Structures are given as structure tokens and as C-alpha cells.
Amino acid sequence: MASSAAYLDADENLEAIISHIEQKSRKIETLLKQSKPVEALKTALEGSPLKTRDERCKSANWIVVHRAMMAIRDVDGMFNSLDPEYYDILMKYLYRGLSTGDRPTCDQCLKIHEKLTEKAGLGCILRSLADTVNTV
Amino acid sequence: MAATPAVAIHQFAECITCHAWSPDQSMIAFCPNNNEVHIYKLFTDKWEKLHVLAKHDQIVSGIDWSRSSNKIVTVSHDRNSYVWTQEGSDWVPTLVILKLNRAALCVQWSPKENKFAVGSGAKSVCICYYEQENNWWISKVIRKRHESSVTSLAWHPNNIYLATTSTDGKCRVFSTFIKGVDTRGSQSSTATDSKFGEQITQLDLSSTWAFGVRWSASGKTLAYAGHNSMIYFVDEVESAPAAQNLALRDLPLRDVLFVSESVAIGVGFDCNPMIFAADDTGLWSFVRFLDERKATPSTSKASQLSEALGKLYGQSKGTSSDTVEPSKPRGGAHENCITCIVPLTKGRDGTIKRFSTSGLDGKIVVWDLENHITIAK
């Protein structure tokens, strides 16, 4: 597939992505301690590794998003401060959450899914389903 | 207040694949989701079936009726195309050998009506022109570039450039210059200097199936729909493509029509035409749905959906009805996906005042824009 030179380049890239996610994780823990779950979620969603095919990076980012998502108690309130630019990426992570089958995760994802669909519309769901290039 | 924009609704069949109007708009030709083309004529206030064109073996996927030469071209999943000419009270078919090994999916007459283009499942586009000496239509195939089925076509007003959309997600513009059919003209332009089959531009904006490509009347703007509920407006396609990606709130579109240089209508799975407009700076945005009729039920679609999801995961969320009805009649003109939009009448200012739509519900609806939207030139 890729030549060995390109593969090495990808490796370095992946390391950069993983360390970026680790940075995010620390920032999120701080924000959660300050009772700012929406800020934490925004931080988690920003800079998500959509373009890479590497499963480790995607899983690492998912763990971080999951942590922030589960800390949200007031879903309605969350949408008051979440900008529309985050809707599409949040929807993709909601479906990842639903696919885990874990009861608490699914409960939370469904709660958020209902409100997000009201806010963003069915088009948002379609984009998360149809986009096979930028995946979470 | 103002009457509904849907001025006429006709239920012609259970399902309609595509439709086209005669030059004087007294007759309509459509495929009722089978291998035939039915032509109906309006007598006072009743539509009567006048002709049945039955030459194809499979579903007729595309029909176009030329305005000046009054010829009907039809293409079908049976890989054939016929050009129908009216002789007296009959329509006489002429077979056009397309040399396809997959279904033909769409067809459009060129602006000068001396060529027509056919998009196919064979990842190719056939450009057909009439050869006077042998009295038959010849097909020249553009085989390169497309990686999947060609879903829709649109001719640029210069009669040479052709835009295509494909299920490979891309929109491409090709030159269809044919020696002997197209003239080079005294001034050299990039269009007349191009070679047949040459790809002018490739737009890779959607990672999903693309449909419904259309040029604005001047050819300055190109629009097409992505199956990911997006619509793309592109300016300066030939030189420096500048695209605007509009994310739609609702379901995807299947076809698009430019009503003026700054207003476009999109139709699709929401069963209701969507109006898009560009402001003075050229920025496109969604305005509103055209048909104002609202559905009566109080539960919104979203909460119905989450009720269903809730049931799936064993939670009971809704307190109202026990059963979830996913397909309530919406109260609009169309009850199912609109797949085809055709322009009808132009106003004195060159903008389109009336257009028609057909869909999977078997209806053809005529829409009037006068008094319903103000169209800035």
C-alpha cells in the first residue's frame, strides 16, 4: 500500500495525534473538576482524528469524548452553549457510543441524541451515517 | 392569505420515474415506473391518455422533450435509447445504439438540441448526435474518469460543456465538442478549443452519492446535491472553482433547479421543495420550504424517532400514543420523495415562474412562484 517512507511519516503523525489526545485528556480532567462539563466536551470534540485510519487514535479520542459526555447532567443546558459546528461530530460519537451496547453509555447517548436531533435535524444523522471518509 | 404555491396536483400513477412537457405545455410525458412512456393531454379540465410509447423492455429512467424540434428522447435500464418523432398522430421511434453494457440512467437534450447526453451505470456518458447522410444517431462515449454510475447530467448554455454527477461522489465537467456538429467560431474560447471527452473540472466535495446537477441560466454557477444532506454551489467552475457547502437540516435532495441566478429550488426526500437564495455577496443559504401546508400531528418527527429508539432499548419515553407511526401523511402536495423537477414558464425578466415536480407518489405537481417568493435578479 503506502511506501515505507510514507509509512514512517504516518507513524510520526500518529504519535503526534496520540500526544495531542493525552493533552486534551488532562485539560478535560481539569475542566470537569471545575464543573465545566460542556467546555470539557467541546475540548474533547475539537481536533478529533477523523482523517486517520488508525484505530488506536480513534479509540483514544473516543475514550476522552466518552469521559466528557458521561459527565454531562443537564443535556438541555448543554445545547445552550454548544455551537452548531460541533453537531455533526457529536452525532458521530453518539452512534459510536450506541454501538458499544453498554447500558449507562447508551442511556446517556440516547438522551443527547433526542435533543441533538431536535436541534440539528435529520440531516445531521444522515451526515454521520453517509460519511465514510471522516469516521470516528 | 396567498393561495398555495402548488397550483395543480395530478395523480397520474402509483409511482412516477421521470417526466417531461411538450413545447407548448399542453402534453406531459412520464414513465409510470414500468417500461412504457405515457403521454397525457389536458382537455379543458381533464387529463386524457393520448399515447403509450412502448418500445423499451425495462423501466424508462429518463425522458426529455426538446422545445424547438419537438423530439422526445427516452432511455431505459434496457441499455437502449429511442428518439421519438411525431408523424401525424403517431410517435415514431428511432433506435439509438448506445453501446452500453449497463442501464442508461438519465438523458438531456443539449441547449441547441443537436446533441443529447446519456448517463449510465457503465460509468460512462454517451453523447449522441444526428448524422444527416445516414439518417441515424451516432453515440460517442466518454469512458474515462467516472468510477461509478452517472446519476445526472446538465448542459452548460454553450452547448459544449456537460456536467455530470456520479455515485462515486464527484461532480465533473467535460467537453463534448464534436467536429462537424459544434463550430469553433471566430473567437477562440476554452470551450471551443477543447477536445471531446476532455475533463475540464472535477469537484470532490461529497464523499457520498451525488445527484441533481444543474447550471444556472448564464452558466456562471453550478449546483448539485449530495446524499449526505448537503447541497453544493460552485462558481467559476471552469477556471477557479469556488464552492459553498450547505449542510441541510433535513433529508437529502435528489434534483435541483435554478429559478434565477440567485435563487434555486431543491427537491428530494422531504417531499417539499426547498428554496435556496444567494445574497448580494453571493453567499447561498436555505430560505424555507415552498409548500406551507403543515402536518397536523402534535408529536414532532424527532420525538417519534426517539420513541422508537427508546422502545428499541427497552425504555419507555413517550406518554402519548403506544404505537409509533413513522409515515404519517404530511399534508403537503407530495406524499413521497420528489425525484424530478422541470422548468415550465419564464417571466419577462428571464426568471422561472412555474415549474413541475414528479415523485415516487405518482403525482405531478405544478408550482407557481409568483407572489410566493420575491426573486431578485
Question: How close A103 gets to chain B, by Cα (Å)?
Answer: 9
Identity at B92, one-letter amino acid code? V
DSSP B309-324: HHHHTT----SS-SS-
Give the pLDDT of residue B67: 94
pLDDT, tens digit (0-9, with 9 covering 90-100), for B77-131: 999 999 999 999 999 999 999 999 999 999 999 999 999 999 999 999 999 999 9
Domains of chain A, CATH where assigned: 1-130 (1.25.40.190)
A110 and B208 within 8 Å at the Cβ level: the answer is: no
B320 falls in which pLDDT band (50, 70, 90)? Answer: very low
pLDDT, tens digit (0-9, with 9 covering 90-100), for B23-60: 999 999 999 999 999 999 999 889 999 999 999 999 99
Q: Whole-angstrom Cα distance, residue B77 to residue B106? A: 10
Most confident of A7-21, A46-60, B245-259, B286-300: B245-259
Does position B159 have pLDDT exceeding 90, yes or no? yes
Give the pLDDT of residue B146: 94
Q: Whole-angstrom Cα distance, residue B94 to residue A61? A: 61
ipTM higher than threshold 0.90: no
Give the pLDDT of residue B44: 85
Give the pLDDT of residue B377: 40
A127 and B252 within 8 Å at the Cβ level: the answer is: no
Does position A11 have pLDDT exceeding 90, yes or no? no
Give the other-Cβ count within 10 Å of B9's Cβ.
Answer: 13
B247 and A107 within 8 Å at the Cβ level: the answer is: no
Q: Does residue B70 or residue B302 have the better pLDDT?
A: B70
**Model confidence, pTM:** 0.88
- Chain A positions contacting chain B at CB under 8 Å are 88, 106-107, 110, 113-114, 117-118, 120-124, 126-127, 130-134
Give the pLDDT of residue A13: 84
CB-based contact B150:B125 (threshold 8 Å): yes
A134 and B229 within 8 Å at the Cβ level: the answer is: no
Domain boundaries, chain B: 6-181+194-291+330-368
Give the pLDDT of residue B74: 97
B315 and A121 within 8 Å at the Cβ level: the answer is: no
Report residue A84 as a C-alpha cell: 452548531
pLDDT, tens digit (0-9, with 9 covering 90-100), for B273-285: 999 999 999 999 9
Helix/strand/coil for A41: helix
Give the pLDDT of residue B307: 61
Give the pLDDT of residue B148: 96
Average predicted confidence (pLDDT) for chain A: 88
Q: Whole-angstrom Cα distance, residue B181 to residue B183? A: 7
Q: Whole-angstrom Cα distance, residue B342 to residue B345? A: 10
A100 falls in which pLDDT band (50, 70, 90)? Answer: very high
Alpha helices in chain B (DSSP H): 190-193, 301-312
- The CA distances from residue A133 to A49, A99, B141, in Å, are 11, 19, 31
Give the pLDDT of residue B306: 57
Does position B314 have pLDDT exceeding 70, yes or no? no
Helix (H) or strand (E) holding B155: strand B150-155
Q: How far apart are the first and last CA of chain A?
A: 22
Does position B2 have pLDDT exceeding 60, yes or no? no
- Radius of gyration of chain A from Cα atoms? 15
Give the pLDDT of residue A97: 96
Does position A5 have pLDDT exceeding 50, yes or no? no
- The CA distances from residue A95 to B155, B223, B351, in Å, are 40, 30, 44
Topology of B6-181+194-291+330-368 in CATH?
Methylamine Dehydrogenase; Chain H (2.130.10)
Q: Which residues in chain A have their CB less than 8 angstroms from residue B252's CB?
A: 123, 126
